[in-house]
């Protein structure tokens, strides 16, 4: 039986929680006790059991002499796997069996179990691990470090600044806000379609019938703003948006919205001066030529005026 085949069998036995088969394979092949199970799964039998939160299998493997602080599993100890996964009871079991809380991972990050829990947003686990040694507060790093450590993980978002502030104050989990709620996006003042979208993103977005990405116009350099690019104008118009900045006097849309003025009307602003006020008073006193004509007609040809009747008879 080949060595790879035996490892595959051990992996299968761990995955199915077959305690008897696991014990048999390890007894027959003691070199597999602290070795990676397969080339794909770099976890040891103990670490994989911790990852699966299988306490019975963990107790069995520990009883067979497995190294509890072994970092053969991707440079991470079993306790770190429990911290990452948020298996609180499993972490307590490992601590009772001698797991080192302050040990750092054998990788580029060099995180402790507490820091691995921080990266994955496991707040209750963090409180427990921190209670074991409060000196860990002195070695905590900035939120940016843990944010970078979370890149590529399945955790979509965590407000690490808020997370660390509450953790350092040791605030109970029940009194904490939702660390995983994304802050609302600020409303854009002058949104435009982002021209930096790649062709792959463009095709995928259209297949899924998603809206185009928009950004603030001021965030784009001048040569990428839609009013300065032919394709930018086309994309804006195709999406029902103007390519020109809002409230721009050179904007064609603003020009079309300007109210047309009567060219025969004097639209100049009249300044309130004493001379203009005098002219206004005189204009109100002096009747116009048209008013004089109508008033003369009324006095000369009024039907009820007897003098006008005599003049008509004499004519």
**pLDDT > 50? residue 291:** no
Give yes or no for a contact between 36 and 3, defined as CB atoms under 8 angstroms apart: no
**Domain limits at 39?**
3-175
Percent residues over pLDDT 90 in the chain = 62
d(CA 251, CA 12): 69
**pLDDT > 70? residue 276:** no
Tokens of 9: 């069998």
d(CA 181, CA 189): 24
Same domain, 123 and 150: yes
CA separation, residue 98 to residues 66, 127, 136, 154 (Å): 12, 19, 18, 30
Tokens of 99: 């797991």
Domain C-terminal end among 254, 270, 298: 254
Same domain, 110 and 229: no
Per-residue pLDDT band at 303 (split at 50, 70, 90): very low
Tokens of 108: 């580029």
In the block, residue with structure tokens 């991972």: 105
Same domain, 166 and 22: yes
Same domain, 12 and 144: yes
In DSSP terms, 193 is beta-bridged to 214
Q: What is residue 40's predicted lDDT score, i.e. its pLDDT?
A: 80
Taking only the tens place, the pLDDT of each residue in 15-25 is 999 999 999 99
Taking only the tens place, the pLDDT of each residue in 61-117 is 999 999 999 987 678 999 999 999 999 999 999 999 999 999 999 988 899 999 999
Q: Is residue 196 part of a domain?
A: yes
Question: Is pLDDT larger for residue 184 or for residue 306?
Answer: 184
For helices 19-28 and 3-15, the axis angle rounded to 10 degrees is: 150
Q: What is residue 222's predicted lDDT score, i.e. its pLDDT?
A: 94
d(CA 274, CA 286): 19
Per-residue pLDDT band at 278 (split at 50, 70, 90): low
Average pLDDT for 277-295: 49
Per-residue pLDDT band at 274 (split at 50, 70, 90): low
Same domain, 195 and 167: no
Taking only the tens place, the pLDDT of each residue in 153-182 is 777 789 999 999 999 999 999 999 999 998
Same domain, 248 and 130: no
The distance of Cα 239 from the centroid of its chain, to the nearest Å, equals: 23
**pLDDT > 90? residue 123:** yes
Per-residue pLDDT band at 295 (split at 50, 70, 90): very low
Q: What is residue 248's predicted lDDT score, i.e. its pLDDT?
A: 52
d(CA 142, CA 268): 64
pTM: 0.64
Q: What is residue 42's predicted lDDT score, i.e. its pLDDT?
A: 82
The distance of Cα 7 from the centroid of its chain, to the nearest Å, equals: 43
Same domain, 210 and 236: yes
Q: Give me the CATH number covering residue 35.
A: 1.25.40.20
For helices 55-63 and 19-28, the axis angle rounded to 10 degrees is: 20
Residue 193: φ, ψ to 5° = -70, 135
Give yes or no for a contact between 253 and 210, defined as CB atoms under 8 angstroms apart: no
How many C-beta atoms lie closer than 10 Å to residue 103's C-beta? 14
Q: Is residue 79 part of a domain?
A: yes
**pLDDT > 50? residue 145:** yes
């Amino acid at each position: 039986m080949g060595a790879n085949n035996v490892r595959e069998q051990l992996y299968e036995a761990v995955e199915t929680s077959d305690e008897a088969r696991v014990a048999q394979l390890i007894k027959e092949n003691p070199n597999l006790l602290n070795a990676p199970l397969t080339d794909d799964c770099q976890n040891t039998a103990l670490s994989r059991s911790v990852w699966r939160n299988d306490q019975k299998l963990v107790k069995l493997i520990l009883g067979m002499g497995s190294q509890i602080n072994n970092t053969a599993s991707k440079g991470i100890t079993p306790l770190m796997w429990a911290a990452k996964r948020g298996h609180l009871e499993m972490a307590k079991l490992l601590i009772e069996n001698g797991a080192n809380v302050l040990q750092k991972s054998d990788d580029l990050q060099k995180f402790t179990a507490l820091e691995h829990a921080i990266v994955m947003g496991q707040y209750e686990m963090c409180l427990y691990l921190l209670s074991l040694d409060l000196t860990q507060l002195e070695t905590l790093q900035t939120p940016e470090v843990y944010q970078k450590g979370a890149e590529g993980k399945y955790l979509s978002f965590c407000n690490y600044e808020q997370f660390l502030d509450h953790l350092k104050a040791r605030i109970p989990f029940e009194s904490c806000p939702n660390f995983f709620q994304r802050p609302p996006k600020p409303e854009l003042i002058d949104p435009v379609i982002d021209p930096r979208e790649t062709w792959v993103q463009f095709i995928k977005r259209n297949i899924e019938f998603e809206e185009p990405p928009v950004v603030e116009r001021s965030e784009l350099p001048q040569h990428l703003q839609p009013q300065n690019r032919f394709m930018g104008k086309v994309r804006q118009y195709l999406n029902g948006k103007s390519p020109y900045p809002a409230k721009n006097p050179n904007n064609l849309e603003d020009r079309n919205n300007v109210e047309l003025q009567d060219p025969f009307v004097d639209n100049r602003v009249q300044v309130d001066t004493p001379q203009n006020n005098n002219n206004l008073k005189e204009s109100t006193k002096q009747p116009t030529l048209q008013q004089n004509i109508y008033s003369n007609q009324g006095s000369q040809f009024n039907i009820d005026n007897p003098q006008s009747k005599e003049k008509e008879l004499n004519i």
